[in-house]
Amino acid sequence: MFYKNLNLFGILTFESNNYNKILKAIKDSKAYISFVESSKDKGTLNKRYENYVMLKQAAYTFNAPKRNKDSNTTSIYSLLTPQSISTEMIDKFLNEHGMNDDFEYEYGIEHSQESVYTTTHKVIPIEYSTFHLAVDLDNHYEQLNRRYLNDTFLFNNYQRFFLIPFLGKYENKYVKPVVIVNVYDVGIITIQLSIAISKGKIEITNKEPNSIQLTDVEFYQEKNNFSKKDYWKRKKVDSVTIYQIMDYYFDLLKLICKKQELVPQSQKQIAWVLGDFEPNKRSLHKEFVDKNKGLYVSYLTNAQKDIIERMPDEYLDEYLNKTIINKYNTMHFYCSDAISLLSFSHSAFHKEAVAALKENEKELKKEKVYDQALSESYIQYSMFYMSEFLRFYELTFIKRFYALKLLNSLSSSSFNSLKEYNSNRKEFNALKRNYDEQLLFKTYGSPMELYINILEKSGTDKIVDKVEKLFTSAREDISSAREFAIKQSETYILIISSILTVLLGYRGIQYLVEGLLFNLPFKVGEIIALHPFRWTVSLWLILCFSMLILNLIRFKAIKK
C-alpha cells in the first residue's frame, strides 16, 4: 500500500491585545472538538459534538446494512449504546436524517451452528472516527509540547484547538480530515489541514501534486455558536480544492471572531507525508526512495509528470541531496522553500503494529486480511509519528511568515520616523526572541536540531538575515534623514536670525556711527560726521552681504 498525507498550513493575523478575546470566542462557539489548557493541566471536550457523533454512531449501527430484516427469521438484537442515548432518540434520528454512506462497516460472524448464528455489527461514521482520532492527537501533541518546548511559551503564549471536520471523498473514498488551529499571543493563528489518502498505485500524476480535489464535500453551515442541532445542517459542494477548504475555515474563524477582525494571509506552506506501507517488502527505506526519485522531486517542487520526465537522474539526485534533513533507515525528511516531505518505511513502526494485532492475528490470517490490517495499523501510527516533525515545521512557518512580512514592508517602503523604525525593530526582536531555538526548547537535542535544520533548508534563516541587513540600512537612512532635518532646522534659524539682524542692524549701526565713529581721533570722526547716512548705509550693506554669504555656505553644506 502506498500512503500519502497532505498537510496544508495557512495563517490569519490579529491585533495581539485581542489574544484572550479570541480564545474565549472560539471556546464559546463550540466549533471545536477539543482543546487542552496547558497552564491548568486541563483538557476539554466539546460535549455537544461528542453527543452528536455518539448518537449518529448508535443510529447507524442500529440500522446496520447487513442486519437481517427478514420477517421469516427469528432475530434477537442487543444494541450497546451509552445510557444517554435511547431507542426513541435513534428512531427520531433515522426518521429525520436517514442514513448516508459516510461510514465504515465492521461485520463478523462470531458463532455459527446449524440454523443459529451470532453476528456483530459496528457501523462507524466518518465523523465518529475523526472525533476520536482528533482527541488522541490532541493528547499526543500536548505530551510532545510538554516534552520539548519551554514552559513559558507553552503556558502563556499559545493555545491549540482541534476544529470540527468536514466530509469529503478522494477517488470515491471518504477521507478523515484533521483540522488544527494554533493561536499565538503575538497576533497569529495557524490552521493545519491534514488529509490522509491511501493508494495502491505509485505514480507521478499529470497534474501538480498540490492540486488534488475532493468530491461530495459537506461543510457545516458557518455559525458563531453551534447548538447540537446545527451539526446536522450542511452545505454540499460537488468538488473543492484543498485551498478552498482552507478558505472555509478562514471564513468560519472570521465569523466566530468577528469583533476581533481576523485577517487571512496569502502565505501557505505544504507538508507531504508519504508511506511505503507494503508489509515485509523493503527493510531499508533508501531502496524505495532510490526507485522513486522522480516521485519525491515531484512532491517537493509541485511538478507534474512531463516536467519530471525532462529532469536527468543527476539533477534528481542533486535536488534530493540538497533538500535532505534526516536520512535514517526507516525514514527520510526533506524540506524545500515552501514544501516539506516526510517519508516512512513500514519498518518504522512494524513492531508496534504487529504487537497491536497480536490478539487477533490468527483470525485475521485465517480471513486473509492480516496484511491489510497491518497496513491500516501503519497508517494509524504514522499519524502520531508525523506530528513530531510537523509541530516544529509549523513553528518555522510562523517565523518565516513574520520575517517575510517584515522583509516586504522594508522593501516596499521606508520608515518616516525613528518611532516607526523602533516599532518595527521591536517586532523583529520579539520574533527572534520568541522563536530562538535556545529559548523555544527546553534542552538541546534532536527536536532542536530538526528545528534549526528546517529554518536553514526552508530559507527562513536567509530571510531573517536579509531583514537584519535592511534594518541596519534603514537605521543609517533614518540617521541621515534626522541629521538633514536638524541641519534644515538650523538653517531656518540662521535665516530668521539673519533677517532679524538685518532689520535691527540698521538702527544699531546708526548708533555705532553716531556714538563711536564720530569720536574717532585724528579727524577721522570729523570726516565720518560730514556724511553719517552714507557711512551707516555702507556698513549696513556689508552686514546684509555677510548674512547672505553665510546662508549660501550653509545651504551648500546641507546639499552635500
pLDDT per residue as tens digits for the range 228-284: 899 999 999 999 999 999 999 999 999 999 988 899 999 899 999 999 988 777 878
pTM score:
0.83
pLDDT per residue as tens digits for the range 293-335: 999 999 999 999 999 999 999 999 999 999 999 999 999 999 9
Q: Let me know: does 274 contact 254? Beta carbons within 8 Å.
A: no
Least confident of 91-105, 446-460, 475-489: 475-489
Structure confidence at residue 430 (pLDDT): 82
| Beta-ladder partners of 42 | 37
Dmax over CA atoms of the chain, in Å, equals 154
Q: Is 362 exposed, middle or buried (0-12, 13-18, 19+ CB in 10 A)?
A: exposed
State the cell numbers at 523: 579727524
CA-based nearest residue to 52, from 89, 88, 25: 89
What distances in angstroms separate CA 493 from CA 79, 92, 145, 535, one per listed residue?
94, 88, 62, 29
CA-based nearest residue to 215, from 246, 238, 245, 247: 238
Structure confidence at residue 86 (pLDDT): 85
Q: Give the pLDDT band of residue 489 (cuts 50, 70, 90).
A: low
pLDDT per residue as tens digits for the range 346-399: 889 889 989 998 888 888 888 788 888 888 899 889 999 999 899 999 999 999
Q: Let me know: does 200 contact 21? Beta carbons within 8 Å.
A: no
The string over 456-493, giving b where at least 16 C-beta atoms fall within 10 Å of a residue's C-beta and e elsewhere, is: ebbbbbebbebbeebbeebeeebeeeeeeeeeeeeeee
Residue with cell string 487477533: 360
pLDDT per residue as tens digits for the range 107-148: 666 655 556 556 676 789 999 999 999 999 999 999 999 999
Quote the mean pLDDT of the chain.
Answer: 84
Eight-class DSSP state of 72: T
Helix segments in 312-369, DSSP class H? 313-323, 350-357, 361-366
Distance CA 215, CA 232 (A): 19
Give the three-class secondary structure for 327.
strand
Reported as half-sphere exposure (CB side, CA atoms, 13 A), residue 369 has a value of: 8
Q: What is the mean pLDDT of residues 512-532?
A: 69
Structure confidence at residue 246 (pLDDT): 97
CA-based nearest residue to 302, from 278, 268, 331, 345: 268
Structure confidence at residue 139 (pLDDT): 94
Q: Describe the strand order of the beta sheet including 167-170 as a list of residue ranges.
A: 173-174, 167-170, 213-220, 234-241
Structure confidence at residue 121 (pLDDT): 67
Single-letter amino acid, residue 92: K
What distances in angstroms separate CA 360 from CA 107, 336, 525, one per listed residue?
15, 42, 129
pLDDT per residue as tens digits for the range 493-503: 566 566 556 55
Q: Give the pLDDT band of residue 432 (cuts 50, 70, 90).
A: confident
Instruction: Identify the sign of the CA torsion 226, 231, 232, 236.
Output: positive
Beta pairing, strands 32-37 & 324-327: unpaired
Higher per-residue confidence, 70 vs 248: 248
Structure confidence at residue 342 (pLDDT): 95
Q: What is the mean pLDDT of residues 524-552?
A: 72
pLDDT per residue as tens digits for the range 35-63: 998 888 889 999 999 999 999 998 988 88
